[in-house]
Amino acid sequence: MALNAEESGRFAAVLTDGAEKVTQRWTEAVAGSLRGRLSQAELRRQIEELHRALLTVGEQGPLDLDAEHAAELRAVLGELSRDRARQGFSATETAISVFALKDVLLEVLEARGGEGTLRDYVAFSGLIDQMGLFTFESYVRTRESLIADQAEQLLELSTPVVKLWEGVVAVPLVGTLDSARAQVVMERLLQTLVDTSSPYAIIDITGVPAVDTQVAQHILKTVVAARLMGADCIISGIRPQIAQTIVALGIEFGDIATKASLADALRHVLRLTGVETARRPRRES
């Protein structure tokens, strides 16, 4: 809701008259809700910045958050919500920084008295509500981008390809294997096969809670891709319940070697490559 020129003028007047007092009361009102989790000086600086931005808009034209000359006010509000979101404040605690201005305005307007106080207050409130909603939206956007970043980081984190032995790489899969992760796993594995020129790859699914047809399909595709590059794949970590489920589903792994544990898979590969794994007799010392 935009204020007309007259209302804007009165709004600016309220903010300028005793500007010191307004920012002081505003800061106090916000500080109460944040319970000392933000330093007084920092909060004071933010409030003064907001106050200044509001006045600047008022000077340049009618107070309207959507207007072109209000770009700076929007920027200040956006920055405030971003800071709050990153520091872990709740949405309410963020919006209150703006809404607290209403209490201050009511105080000042009441002290002044006179005709049209109520009308002015309602008009000012409309503008502040709009500012509050804008803050809220920026806050949500920031949080969403934080979540998207974390999801991406998680994807990176959860798909390591490790070198187990000379010529043997392993992918320990943990959690849900959806299409996005399957793609990352395949890319990483194929690249590591080239980089380490390994002829063997072990895909360990001990950490995958349920193997359904989609997961199986992703694994099969990865195995086929690795084979095209001349590498042999072994699937390990097939627990009893997974084995029974796979049989009931009717998934066939064909001639792909599967093992119950990663240790079995490694022993299998070492045997294929001709590495002797004999238990050495304990030496008496």
Smallest distance, another protein to C-beta of residue 152, A: 15
Give contact residues for another protein (rule: CB under 8 A): 176, 178-179, 209-214, 216-217, 240-242, 244-245, 248-251
Q: In what order do the strands lie in the sheet with 257-259?
A: 162-165, 168-174, 200-207, 232-236, 257-259
N-to-C CA span, the chain: 89
CB nearer to another protein: pick between 5 and 249: 249
CB nearer to another protein: pick between 40 and 213: 213
CB nearer to another protein: pick between 145 and 176: 176
- Which one, of 193, 206, 207, 208, lies nearest residue 162 by Cα? 193
Smallest distance, another protein to C-beta of residue 92, A: 26
CB nearer to another protein: pick between 32 and 209: 209
Smallest distance, another protein to C-beta of residue 239, A: 8
Chain Cα centroid distance, residue 222: 29
- The radius of gyration of the chain's CA atoms, rounded to the nearest angstrom, is 32
Smallest distance, another protein to C-beta of residue 202, A: 22
If one counts every other C-beta atom within 10 angstroms of the C-beta of residue 33, the result is 16
CB nearer to another protein: pick between 106 and 225: 225
Smallest distance, another protein to C-beta of residue 245, A: 5
Contact 245, 215 (CB under 8 A): no
